Amino acid sequence: MPMSRERSQVQFQRALKSIPGGVNSPARAFGAVGGEPLFIDRADGAYLWDLDGNKLIDFIGSWGPHILGHRHPAVLAAVEDALTRGTSFGAPTELESELAELVIDAVPSIEKVRMVSSGTEATMSAIRVARGFTGRDKIIKFAGCYHGHVDSLLVKAGSGALTLGVPSSPGVPAGCTADTISLEFNNPNKLAETFAVQGDKIAALILEPVVGNMGVVVPQPGFLAACRELCTKHGAVLIFDEVMTGFRLSLGGAQELFKITPDMTTLGKIIGGGMPVGAYGGRADIMAKVSPAGPVYQAGTLSGNPLAMACGIATLGTLRETNPYPTLAARTERLTRGLSDAASAAGIKHTLPHVGSMFTLFFNPDPVLNNTIAGHSDTKLFARYFWGMIEHGVYLPCSQFEANFVSAAHSDGDIDATIAAAKDVLRAI
Ligand code: HOZ
């Protein structure tokens, strides 16, 4: 018998009356897989329970933050403790320095860091600082990379924008994107050509070093090094958007794993452990431009919020103490091998890129190296796979163009159950 979704359906109808599309962020609307979102009642460890009481193994983890799983005891204790002292002061606290020191310690390219409240704020601010530092206007991004819903970065954007087919949004004035150059990921020659022609006008190159927002796309050997070299040669600021990969691929993020040092880094998701936190940081001379140390203005009433800082400190502290990364990578390796074998046994052409605890099963016969190839994926087949997995108690991102996340709370049993579910589902579609 199909699982009951009655309560979720009632709540979705209610939400539609007061919230655009019934959701507060488009990526979670289930629009691309046809159907209505599940409404979540609670979560614990590796599991979610929806309003109808269905228990699901969660491979979203709030789209990345929950690397420790839901309701980790150290994180809950830290937030409860912070709560006894107040929710927001609009004035400095010790917690802000503590989180900043944890970040600087883990990510050596970050000498100074500013806390904000979302990844979007982090990238928006980093671009402004890079422009203020260089005195130049142009920025380069890659098609399919998503850097939040910043006007100048909503050009061929990934994530929900790609999923819903509006990668360049109406409402963004042409003037806002006139200085944005969008190129194909993993194409160092085109990048070099662009720098050769416009190098003295380019303030920054921003990229997800391992892309998560067109599904997982891995940088080809030499590509990140080419990004670094060209920025150095032409005096542009290299910004790694590690909102997704920061503290996810290793404590030092993708830059540690691939041994490339950016000038600036943007962070989000894990740094807040499930609370709204973003951050941007980098070289001290660049960050010296940020107000009030320098003239580039950026501010926020809830920036450095004490509850959010406490949650982030407990999360990063636990990651540092427990070093779950080798286990996460091994579990992800086993899971992706199992999923790939299940797809092959069902005769389904696919590719399954994974790095650390991030992966995407693309229904695509070719290695996905960029946005154009990702776009050739069979999204109809993905939708059938997605709903089949839900019926088997596995909650995956509701788009072909998103990353799946394994957490430290996923047990070997959860991995086995997920592989068994995929075998059933893929055999039947
Ligand atoms: N930007 C997130 C995924 N790449 C989606 C956030 C959400 O919709 O909750």
DSSP structure class, residue 393: T
- Distance between CA 247 and CA 238 in Å, rounded? 19
Q: Are 271 and 320 in contact (CB under 8 A)?
A: no
**CATH class assigned to 73-322:** alpha beta
* Residue 165 clears pLDDT 80, i.e. is over it: no
What value does the mean pLDDT take over residues 265-279?
Answer: 98
Output the CA 146–ligand 1 centroid distance in Å: 10
- Distance between CA 91 and CA 391 in Å, rounded? 48
**Structural element, H or E, at residue 296:** none
Which of 118, 159, 360 has the most ligand 1 atoms within 8 A of CB, as the residue to mutate? 159
Nearest C-alpha neighbor of 186 from the set 164, 210, 167: 210
Which ligand 1 atom minimizes the distance to the CA of 119?
Answer: 1
- Report the residue count for the chain: 429
DSSP helix/strand/coil, 198: helix
- Distance between CA 286 and CA 266 in Å, rounded? 14
Q: How many CB atoms lie within 10 A of CB 127?
A: 26
DSSP helix/strand/coil, 11: helix
pLDDT of residue 107: 98
* Residue 88 clears pLDDT 80, i.e. is over it: yes
* Residue 146 clears pLDDT 90, i.e. is over it: yes
DSSP helix/strand/coil, 352: coil
Please name the residue whose Cα sits nearest to atom 1 of ligand 1.
Answer: 159
Which ligand 1 atom minimizes the distance to the CA of 23?
Answer: 8
Exposure string of 361-387, with b = 16+ CB inside 10 Å and e = fewer, is bbbbeeebbbbebbbebbbebbbbbbb
Just list the catalytic residues. 146, 241, 269
Kindly indicate the confidence band of residue 411, based on its pLDDT and cuts at 50, 70 and 90.
very high
Q: For residue range 100-133, what is the model confidence (pLDDT) as tens digits?
A: 999 999 999 999 999 999 999 999 999 999 999 9
Kindly indicate the confidence band of residue 302, based on its pLDDT and cuts at 50, 70 and 90.
very high
For 247, residues 6+ apart whose C-beta sits below 8 A from its C-beta are: 67, 106, 253, 267, 270, 271, 315, 316, 319
Q: For residue range 208-223, what is the model confidence (pLDDT) as tens digits?
A: 999 999 999 999 999 9
- Distance between CA 284 and CA 322 in Å, rounded? 30
Kindly indicate the confidence band of residue 137, based on its pLDDT and cuts at 50, 70 and 90.
very high
Which ligand 1 atom minimizes the distance to the CA of 212?
Answer: 4
Helix spans in 61-156 (H): 73-83, 94-106, 119-134
Kindly indicate the confidence band of residue 1, based on its pLDDT and cuts at 50, 70 and 90.
confident
Q: How many CB atoms lie within 10 A of CB 24?
A: 10
Output the CA 27–ligand 1 centroid distance in Å: 5
* Rounded CA Rg of the chain: 21
For residue 101, give both structure tokens: 């020191």
Which of 38, 63, 120 has the most ligand 1 atoms within 8 A of CB, as the residue to mutate? 63
For residue 230, give both structure tokens: 């060209």
* Residue 166 clears pLDDT 80, i.e. is over it: no
Output the CA 63–ligand 1 centroid distance in Å: 6
DSSP 171-192: TS-HHHHTTEEEE-TT-HHHHH
Nearest C-alpha neighbor of 62 from the set 36, 87, 40: 40
**Domain ranges in the chain with CATH number 3.40.640.10:** 73-322
Protein residues whose CB sits closer than 6 Å to any atom of ligand 1: 25, 27-28, 63, 159, 213, 402
Q: For residue range 10-31, what is the model confidence (pLDDT) as tens digits?
A: 999 999 999 999 999 999 999 9
Output the CA 89–ligand 1 centroid distance in Å: 28
pLDDT of residue 303: 98
Which ligand 1 atom minimizes the distance to the CA of 402?
Answer: 4
- Distance between CA 140 and CA 154 in Å, rounded? 12
**Structural element, H or E, at residue 412:** helix 412-428
Kindly indicate the confidence band of residue 314, based on its pLDDT and cuts at 50, 70 and 90.
very high
* Residue 73 burial (10 A CB sphere; 0-12, 13-18, 19+): exposed
Residue type, 143: A
Specify the CATH number for 6-60+324-428; select among 3.40.50.300, 2.40.340.10, 3.90.1150.10, 3.10.20.30. Answer: 3.90.1150.10
- For the chain, the 3-state helix, strand and coil shares in percent, each to the nearest 5, are 45, 15, 40
pLDDT of residue 159: 83
**Domain ranges in the chain with CATH number 3.90.1150.10:** 6-60+324-428
Output the CA 327–ligand 1 centroid distance in Å: 26
Helices vs strands, H then E, count in the chain: 15, 14
Phi/psi for 354 (5° steps) reads -150, 145
DSSP structure class, residue 168: S
SS (H, E, C) 228-294: HHHHHHHCCEEEEECCCCECCCECCHHHHHHCCCCCEEEECHHHHECECCEEEEECHHHHCCECCCC
